[in-house]
Amino acid sequence: MTIDRVKILDKRVLFVGGKGGVGKSTSASAIAMAASKLGKRVLLVSTDPAHNLSDLFHTRLKGEPKEVVRNLFVMEINPEKESERYIANVKKNLEGQVRATMIEEVHRQIDMAKTSPGADEAALFDRVTSLVLEELDRFDLLIFDTAPTGHTLRLVSLPEMMGVWMDGMLERRRKTNEHYTQLLNDGEPVEDPIYQTLQARRDKFRRVREILLDSSMTGFLFVLNPERLPIEEAKRGVETLRQHDIPVLGIIINKILPDSVDGTFFQKRKEQQLVYIEEIKRSFRKLPMVRMELLEEDISTLAHLEMVAGRWSSLME
Ligand SMILES: Nc1ncnc2c1ncn2[C@@H]1O[C@H](COP(=O)(O)OP(=O)(O)OP(=O)(O)O)[C@@H](O)[C@H]1O
Ligand SMILES: [Mg+2]
């Protein structure tokens, strides 16, 4: 039996994921709009480098929240810009902590780190972390419209990996400090701003991880279509999230052919979709599912989006 509802309104943070083109941005936007109409103050954030929320809402979006409809704020995070900002910040934090003769070399090293694989992702993650920690005070619901699956899963599993890595760094730093204390400072503990910075970051990751793992606050929604590849990708995604204990809230089966379409060609496709829908029900047995029909046109105007949002209002409890 499928449950045709998904508990969204009591959550504070939602991630919407799935394979490319399945309808993540459309679903995230429709949910955001529906929730705002139901009285929630909502922030919709795109973390996809290939943004389409500006197109969907027909407005220029930047890296800060912009109210597009009453109580619905939208923003886009640009990973490359975040990376630049992040690097500038690291350099600034190091000012006064590194000897003047070393500063050029340190900056050169940091600039090199910027081009390393994963740097943009780490910066993006840092911004998502800050948003979750800071904006929950101002908004009832944060919705992240994410890039296709692999990227997003790394994003949500990062707090765990970063936590382990930072603990290692902190431990090494602590040992070094202990040495210095004994050698140079007659047993008086040395002040170490780098240790303090690391510790602050570790605490930040810890706090965001607590929120991400708390199923009463956070949920991950997978969008798929009744087709083979999106199903496979969602299966892998759900499995990975479970391994990381990240709560999966439900499945959105999008682009289902409506009953009203006819003709032999569509009859065949509808039959095939039914087979896939059965497979979806079997594969994601314990998860709530909602169904969305394929509409006649792309969802590209606010009026269109409002229509889809109207349908969502009755599905999200
Ligand atoms: N139920 C639907 N009926 C008709 N068109 C739809 C439906 N859902 C999505 N679309 C259309 O399909 C296209 C892809 O949707 P969308 O941009 O939401 O997908 P996405 O998963 O965010 O893609 P990407 O991975 O590129 O970010 C868009 O043109 C959108 O208007
Ligand atoms: Mg998208």
pLDDT digits (tens, 9 = 90+) for 192-226: 777 777 778 778 888 888 898 899 999 999 999 99
Q: Which atom of ligand 1 is nearest to the CA of 293?
A: 1
pLDDT at 1: 42
Give the percent of the chain with pLDDT over 70.
89
Q: Which fold has domain 13-84+113-313?
A: Rossmann fold (3.40.50)
* Exposed/middle/buried for residue 228 (C-beta within 10 Å: 0-12, 13-18, 19+): exposed
Residues of 198-212 as b/e, b for ≥16 C-beta within 10 angstroms? bbebbebbeebbebb
Calculate mean pLDDT across residues 162-172: 71
Smallest-distance ligand from the CA of 312: 1
Nearest CA to ligand 1 atom 6: 298
Contacts of residue 207, Cβ cutoff 8 Å, sequence gap at least 6: 133
Domain residue ranges in the chain = 13-84+113-313
Residues with CB under 5 A from ligand 2 (ion): 24-25
Entry pTM: 0.88
Contacts of residue 75, Cβ cutoff 8 Å, sequence gap at least 6: 43, 44, 45, 46, 61, 62, 63, 64, 65, 66
Residue 56 CA to ligand 2 centre (angstroms): 10
Calculate mean pLDDT across residues 102-129: 78
Smallest-distance ligand from the CA of 26: 1
Q: How far apart are CA 147 and CA 160, in angstroms?
A: 20
> Tens digit of pLDDT for each residue in 43-97?
999 987 777 899 999 999 888 999 999 999 999 998 788 888 878 887 887 777 7
Phi-psi label, residue 254: left if phi above 0, alpha if psi -120 to 50, beta otherwise: beta
User: Which regions of the chain does DSSP assign to beta strands (E)?
Assistant: 13-17, 42-46, 66-69, 72-76, 141-145, 218-224, 248-256, 289-293
pLDDT band at 21 (very low <50, low <70, confident <90, very high): very high
Give the residue among 23, 273, 286 at the shortest CA–CA distance from 148. 23
Nearest CA to ligand 1 atom 28: 298
Calculate mean pLDDT across residues 280-291: 94
Mean pLDDT of the chain: 86
Pick the residue with more confidence: 66 or 98?
66
Contacts of residue 58, Cβ cutoff 8 Å, sequence gap at least 6: 301, 302
Calculate mean pLDDT across residues 146-165: 65
- Best of 298, 300, 307 for a ligand 1 pocket test (most atoms within 8 Å of beta carbon): 298
Residue 291 has which token pair?
Answer: 């169904």
3-class state of residue 247 by DSSP: coil
Pick the residue with more confidence: 241 or 253?
253
- Best of 25, 146, 291, 308 for a ligand 1 pocket test (most atoms within 8 Å of beta carbon): 25
Residues with CB under 6 Å of ligand 1 are: 18, 20-26, 48, 52, 148, 254-255, 292, 294-295, 298-300
Q: What does DSSP say about strands 141-145 and 13-17: parallel, antiparallel, or unpaired?
A: parallel
